[in-house]
Amino acid sequence: MLKKRIIVCLDVKDGRTTKGVKFLNNIDVGDPVEMAAEYYRQGVDELVFYDIIASARGTGPILDLIHKVASQVFIPFCVGGGIGSLDDIRSIILAGAEKVSLNSQAVKNPSLITEGARVFGNQCIVLGMDAKRDETSPSGYRVYINGGRVKTELDAKEWAIRAVELGAGEIVLNSMDADGTRAGYDIDLTSMIADAVSVPVVASGGGGTIEHIADVLTKGKADAALIASMVHSGDYTIENIKKNLNMQNIPVRIISSEND
């Protein structure tokens, strides 16, 4: 059985890691380079680095900061925010990332998914999707872009299916309703998308307890759980999350004792 992954998200604004609730009221929580090194030491499986204001500002990725983070970790590292061209993707991979997350720019220019997959491989192209409950949308969820600021006409399930057809090799699925609340992942949303596509789905938004993670990895059918607040706050470590999941017979990668 494939092991489930625990992924830490660093939302970065002006070079600092921040955390908000439902995309609002972000507060500074630390230096992304130092935080990346600490989560790597704890045994995180992957890191995701989002420049949360790049798309809204129309700016490109912060390559020097990406390089500094990449130099601290030897695990898959995904970067998102303001990626609008093949040159941007190439620059981020050369800076040390293994994957790029296309969100707003994928909606505005879907061919970027296809071209990115063709040039760099499907495994490098991640669809980042911010979805919010909307009863007027066919699946009950609508896609938002520009850091949750702009409502689109896209239905979440339809967009996930199309993006995979275009070449996305993974989906990071963020529930805007649950984001930062620490009240639990949106199991309905996650399982719906996981059932609809053939690529790994990473659940994001709402992780607050180990039981929330266990639920989304089992009932939600997610391949990985993305967390932020629950470890940024110091309430949990990657080690105790994984040990607890392992005790529940959820397969995870346990780091060697020398890193415990």
The answer to whether the CB of 87 falls within 8 A of the CB of 60 is: no
Q: Where are the domains of the chain?
A: 5-259
- Active-site residue identified among 88, 130, 155, 215: 130
Going by C-alpha positions, the residue among 5, 7, 2 that lies closest to residue 205 is 7
Give the separation between CA 252 and CA 59, rounded to whole angstroms: 37
pTM comes to 0.91
Interstrand relation of 5-13 and 77-80 (parallel, antiparallel or unpaired) = unpaired
Determine whether 51 is an active site residue. no
Q: Match domain 5-259 to its CATH number in 3.40.50.300, 2.60.120.200, 3.20.20.70, 3.40.718.10.
A: 3.20.20.70
Which amino acid is residue 227, in one-letter code? I
Q: Would you state the pLDDT for residue 209?
A: 97
Token duo for residue 161: 């299916």
Determine whether 88 is an active site residue. no
Q: Spell out, as residue ranges, where the chain has pLDDT lower than 50.
A: 257-260
Q: Would you state the pLDDT for residue 258?
A: 43
* Helical H segments across the chain, by residue range: 32-42, 54-57, 63-70, 86-94, 104-108, 111-120, 156-166, 187-196, 210-218, 229-232, 238-247
- Active-site residue identified among 11, 51, 155, 186: 11
How does pLDDT run across 163-207, given as a tens digit for each residue? 999 999 999 999 999 988 899 999 999 999 999 999 999 999 999
Using alpha carbons only, give the angle 68, 70, 75 rounded to the nearest 5 degrees.
155
